[in-house]
């Protein structure tokens, strides 16, 4: 319910689900209220969030740095610099190969939005305003000049919703003209326009005299006993899945397939069932 409330575009829809959360768990409602509704609710967020509902990229970054996390600090910095060089170059090549009017991810959203509103009818209000009536009688007002729709999906994501696409078809407008400027291929290319150079090897620099006189000592810390952990600590409510669970499911699936195999050349011969799964 929290996820559903966070993704709501309308304040009214958010209030309805938030009331259900308060009825199901008052403690959870108090916790969410202390965080701040605008920090996790799309309907109350005052800025431009587009389709990003989280700003926590630490977990992905920790996974990417797993190979160099145990290295000394200078080697870790070189590892990060080399990784960013590869990332920027790969994304730069991919963005420059895009020839369409929209990026691939935006094209997927446009296709899904149009399929969701298939069968709707339109009523012209003015030269730039259209009323879209859905299959079940729901009505939405589209303002093409202001790039707005009463469903608020167009307003929040900066991508034409299904109602806006149907309205654009009625006026002969291309979909790419209604997509936000930050989501167009030109901005995608400019994002990776700068280069991240790889770390230099074997280069000596002349240090200032005052820098060589400073005594820089490591921080006064105490290393805990036992070996340091290499895996992250699971978040509250997160259930870690061990490798044996996936291996067990694979073995069970293999046993199920093996006990239901037939010889297609001789259908009367069926492979006998196996009571145990052989070792992989």
Query: Which pLDDT does position 277 carry in this prediction?
Result: 40
pLDDT at 248: 52
Element (H, E) at 141: strand 139-143
Cα separation of 88 and 191, whole Å?
9
Residue bearing tokens 């046993």? 255
β-bridge mates for residue 12, sequence order: none
Judge whether 197 and 85 are in contact, CB under 8 Å.
Answer: yes
Query: pLDDT tens digits for 67-78?
Result: 888 888 888 999
Mean of pLDDT values over 227-238:
69
Of residues 268 and 238, more confidently modeled: 238
Cα–Cα distances in angstroms (integers) from residue 217 to residues 214, 220, 221, in the given order:
10, 8, 11
Q: Does the pLDDT of residue 203 top 80, yes or no?
A: no
Mean pLDDT of the region 185-211: 84
Q: What's the pTM?
A: 0.66
Burial label, 259 (beta-carbon count in 10 A; 0-12, 13-18, 19+): middle
How much is the average pLDDT of 265-279? 42
Host H or E run for residue 32: helix 26-35
Amino acid 74: pLDDT: 87
Q: How many CB atoms lie within 10 A of CB 139?
A: 12
- C-alpha–C-alpha distance, residues 11 and 164, integer Å: 21
């Amino acid at each position: 319910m929290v996820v559903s409330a966070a993704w709501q575009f309308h304040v009214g829809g958010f209030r309805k689900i938030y009331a259900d959360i308060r009825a199901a768990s008052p403690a959870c409602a108090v916790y969410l209220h202390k965080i701040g509704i605008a920090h996790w609710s799309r309907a109350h967020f005052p800025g431009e969030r587009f389709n990003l509902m989280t700003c926590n990229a630490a977990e992905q970054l920790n996974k990417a740095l797993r190979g160099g996390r145990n290295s000394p600090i200078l080697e870790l910095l070189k590892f990060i610099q080399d990784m960013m060089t590869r990332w920027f170059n790969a994304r730069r090549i991919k963005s420059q190969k895009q020839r369409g009017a929209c990026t691939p991810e935006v094209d997927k959203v446009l296709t899904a939005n149009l399929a969701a509103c298939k069968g709707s009818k339109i009523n012209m209000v003015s030269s730039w305003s259209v009323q879209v009536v859905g299959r079940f009688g729901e009505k939405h007002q589209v303002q093409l000049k202001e790039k707005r729709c009463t469903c608020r999906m167009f307003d929040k994501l900066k991508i034409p919703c299904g109602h806006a696409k149907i309205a654009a078809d009625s006026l002969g407008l291309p979909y790419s003209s209604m997509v936000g400027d930050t989501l167009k291929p030109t901005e995608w290319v400019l994002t990776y326009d700068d280069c991240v150079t790889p770390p230099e090897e074997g280069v000596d620099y002349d240090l200032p005299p005052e820098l060589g006189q400073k005594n820089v000592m490591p921080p006064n810390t105490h290393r805990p006993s036992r070996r340091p952990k290499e895996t992250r600590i699971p978040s509250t409510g997160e259930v870690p899945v061990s490798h044996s669970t996936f291996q067990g499911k694979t073995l069970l699936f293999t046993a199920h397939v093996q006990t239901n195999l037939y010889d297609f050349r001789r259908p009367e011969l069926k492979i006998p069932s196996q009571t145990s799964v052989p070792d992989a």
